Structure 1
Amino acid sequence: MTKEKCESFSFAFPVMHGTMGPSVLDQRRLAQETGMFTFDPGFGSTAACESKITFIDGEKGILLHRGYPIEQLALHTDYTETAYLLLYGELPTKEQYDVFCEDMASQRLLNEQIRNFFNGFRRDAHPMAILCGTVAALSAFYSDVLQTKPCHHDLSARRLIAKVPTIAACAYKYTIGEPFIYPDETLPFSENLLYMLFSRPGRPYKADPVLARALDRILILHADHEQNASTSAVRLVGSTGSNPFACISAGIAALWGPSHGGANEAVLAMFDQIGSRENIPAFLERVKNKESGVRLMGFGHRVYRNFDPRAKLLQATYHEVIDTLGLKRDPCLDLAMELERIAIEDDYFIQRKLYPNVDFYSGLILKALGIPTSMFTAIFAIARTAGWVSHWIEMISNPTMRIARPRQLYTGKIQRDVLPMEER
């Protein structure tokens, strides 16, 4: 399709206004009245749904959950409070918080038969492969998943938020050949996750409060991010009426991509490629050469055009972690700090507004916590589960919900007849 082939026409679109952000053109009657569709690869200019959960202003670096700035949530709440906010629209009272925590903790344990699923995977399987398959299989253990009452939807949402960390931790233990560690219902969300990851029989792990808080902050900052690829995948699958475990499994599969949830893994791979501080200037020159194909991972963002508000919070957290652990001499972290310093002072990156994003710092923090690179995206999935289930509930609660059915611009062969084989 070329510009020369494009034609102009006039059509009056109704305009819809949200409470914040740009207004949108209501295109729902476009095809019916004109016989045409819109063309928007990647849906970058298309509002696919109406939502009350998260608002982003990429130009101003604003991220709000239910109206609350992400900076305030990260500094003044924990992940469980943020998950409650995403699900129910308000921050919990002390009584609501205590009940929610108790119920969520009681949901952490997996059915013992699920242990058999892990034996079907190779020991070198990626944790995301195990997580994706096992989450989908949870639907076989709960006969109420197809119930349409709101109480059943809420129960499924709580089960997923509680059980995904347990599955992820078991996936990690399985790949390293260690026994599974059952969740501890007395521990807060992030401390329990670290406990399941790093404890061994006879040697329970007790997290340093600074490190537990760092992980909790990562989870809060990744809990939801509006209509991104994985959330859109959850909504797309959910629009068919599929069960919630299958929907979240679809989100996990979408998150696995290196351009989405795998970006922080790519940051660590980039550090390995650079090798040492002395190689940074030459590496950045290759980045500036568009023909080289070398990308600066962990900088810039498709939505945030100036700065990622989550990155600023993680930058401070990152330095707290390395100070607590005494890791200032770690070669990788030393390289990262030097790359950060050079890049944010370079006119090339300043002019293009390429600042460190959330992936740059989250990968470094997870590495400092001792979490292996293969688990980075699984940690992201644990965090994003709260957002996914919130969007799923919001969507299925909408009486006007329709099955998602994008259209296309067909550019293939026109209709033709099948010839006998000897005439082809």
Structure 2
Amino acid sequence: MTQQVKLVVDGTEYEMPVLESTLGRPVLDVSAVAKAGLWTYDPGFMATAPVESKITYIDGDKGELLHRGYAIDDLADNADYLEVCYALLYGDLPNAEEKDKFYARITSHMAVHDQLRKFFEGFRRDAHPMAIMLGVVGALSAFYHNHLDISDPQHRDDTCVDLIAKAPTLAAMSYKYSIGEPFMYPRKDFSYAENFLYMMFATPGDKDYKPDPVLVKAMDKIFTLHADHEQNASTSSVRLVGSTGANPYACIAAGIAALWGPSHGGANEAVLTMLDEIGSIENVAPFMEKVKTKEAKLMGFGHRVYKNFDPRVKVMKETCDEVLGALGVNDPKLALAMELEKIALNDPYFIERKLYPNVDFYSGIILKAIGIPTSMFTVIFALARTAGWIAHWTEMHSEAFKIGRPRQRYTGETHRAFVKVEDRK
């Protein structure tokens, strides 16, 4: 029997059913609140579930992240990114035949329309790669709109594949343009992660260029660990824009815009900025003392959702150790990062507050070691998260939905009489 919560307003009783979830907390259906002439007030949507989804589940107290029921560490250790993309889109991991077909579709759609190159020429060379990425992803709607009917499941599916396939190409082009190097086009004999590193670092003269397998593996894990993260700010933005019936390229561009914020996807970039400000090893301990007194902000530690260890961190740290070991990197910033980690994992202040290193902390270190500039960190996050965004978009369009329309608590002026300008004080 469905549990009910009763709301009594001015003597009238309203029933609100408690909806059970397959995992996690039950959800209170507050639609009766509107019948009572009220709205709910929930700053930051901390207790509001505006959607129902089968894609990703997070238990922040346990430190658990599941994609379609699969634990993130299992996926990162045993599957590659495109298998995870397939699961996000279709509900399960692919069998051998499904995997081959899906990979072939992705590979065949990685190239972009040649005329799109001209869009890059409209940006200044010193433009932030995220600004370029935001613009060119939105511009895709000008190239792939004539045959797009978002009410058609096959059209939606083709668009999902198209966006996942083109994301690494556009990301690499954004970088190449910013440094003035020629664009490199994807190769059909390279994997997804291989192609990204190839398009980032190869030049026309590098006929035999092949990315280091250790770096390819690390890149693929970074993509996997960032593929989706439930109803965060950027995913919610994609769903909200999608609820208007906007084309999917515009919806993903909205996700990129939301991700760019330093409190969201820009956090790994902020880690490197923090390390720059610390400067040297001897400044680490004093800096951590300032963190305790709120005089300084510690970036890359703790998480809004996870009240325990971020389940992605174990895999990311192992990957970090592998990359640093393989490259033999000796970077002063990396030494600073390791000292920060050492203090945070041993100091009671940080342990009691569960301020553990999060995925942004280690991903920034790995990307820097690979040779990827700080300005590209959030672009790579957007590349990886495109799979999650488009999975949520297509899930929303696969069933009836309402246009998003949040309410507000108005605290401004009441009715006022208009006063002509000559009579205003």
Please give the TM-score of this superposition, normalised by the length of structure 1.
0.96
AA aligned to 1:422 is E
Contact kept, 8 Å, 1:274 with 1:283, in 2: the verdict is yes
The corresponding residue for 2:211 is 207
Aligned counterpart for 2:280 among listed residues 266, 276, 279: 276
CA distance in 2, matches of 1:378, 1:365: 15
1:421 deviates by 2.0
Q: Partner of 2:375: helix, strand, or coil?
A: helix
Which residue is 2:158 aligned to?
Answer: 155
Shift of 1:21: 0.2
Aligned-partner residue type, residue 344 of structure 2: A
Residue 65 (structure 1) aligned with residue 67 (structure 2): yes
Q: For residue 94 of structure 1, what is the aligned residue in structure 2?
A: 96
Q: Is residue 246 of structure 2 the alignment partner of residue 242 of structure 1?
A: yes
Contact 1:58 1:306 in 2 (8 A): yes
Specify the SS of the correspondent of 1:13: strand
| 1:237 partner letter | V
Structure 1 Cα separation of the partners of residues 181 and 406 of structure 2: 45
The alpha-carbon deviation at position 8 of structure 1 amounts to 9.0
Can you list the C-alpha shifts for 1:184-231, whole angstroms capped at 9, x where unaligned? Answer: 122110010000000001114311111100010000000000000000
Q: Secondary structure at the match of 2:62?
A: coil
TM-aligned CA deviation for residue 168 of structure 1? 0.9
3-state DSSP class of the match of 2:57?
A: strand
Matched letter for residue 233 of structure 2: A
Residue number in structure 1 paired with 2:358: 357
Residue 16 of structure 2 aligns to a residue in which SS? coil
Tell whether the 8 Å contact from 1:139 to 1:145 is kept in structure 2 after alignment. Answer: no
State the alpha-carbon separation in 2 of the partners of residues 320 and 25 from structure 1: 45
Cα separation, 1, equivalents of 2:409 and 2:48: 16
Q: Which residue of 1 aligns with 2:109?
A: 107
- 1:10-409 residue pairs with structure 2 within 5 A? 11-31=14-34, 33-142=35-144, 143-204=146-207, 205-290=209-294, 292=295, 294-327=296-329, 329-399=330-400, 401-409=401-409
Deviations 1:159-185 (A, max 9, x none): 000011111111100000000001112
Q: Is the 8 A contact 2:9 2:36 kept in 1?
A: no
Shift of the alpha carbon at 1:29? 2.8
Q: 1:334 Cα deviation (Å)?
A: 1.1
Shift of residue 289, structure 1, vs aligned partner = 1.5
CA distance in 2, matches of 1:125, 1:422: 46
What are the superposed Cα offsets for residues 27-54 of structure 1, whole Å, 9 maximum, x if unpaired?
12311x2111000011011001000000
Q: Which residue number in structure 2 is paired with residue 423 of structure 1?
A: 423
8 Å CA contact 1:145, 1:244 repeated in 2: no
| Cα deviation digits, residues 259-316 of structure 1 (max 9, x gap) | 11000000000111111111011101111112x2x21000000000011010111011
**Partner SS for 2:31:** coil
State the one-letter code of the partner of 1:164.
A
Q: Which runs of 5+ in 1 are unaligned?
A: 1-6
Structure 2 equivalent of residue 4 of structure 1: none
State the Cα RMSD in Å. Answer: 1.3
State how far apart, in whole Å, the 1-side matches of 2:254 and 2:174 are: 18
Q: CA deviation at 1:12?
A: 3.5
Identity of aligned residues (%): 61
- Within 1, Cα distance between the matches of 2:150 and 2:325? 50
Would you say the 8 A contact 2:56–2:230 is kept in 1? yes
Q: How many residue pairs end up in the alignment?
A: 413
Does the C-alpha gap of structure 1 residues 344 and 147 become closer, same or farther in structure 2, counting only changes over 3 Å?
A: closer
Instruction: Name the amino acid aligned to 2:410.
Output: Y
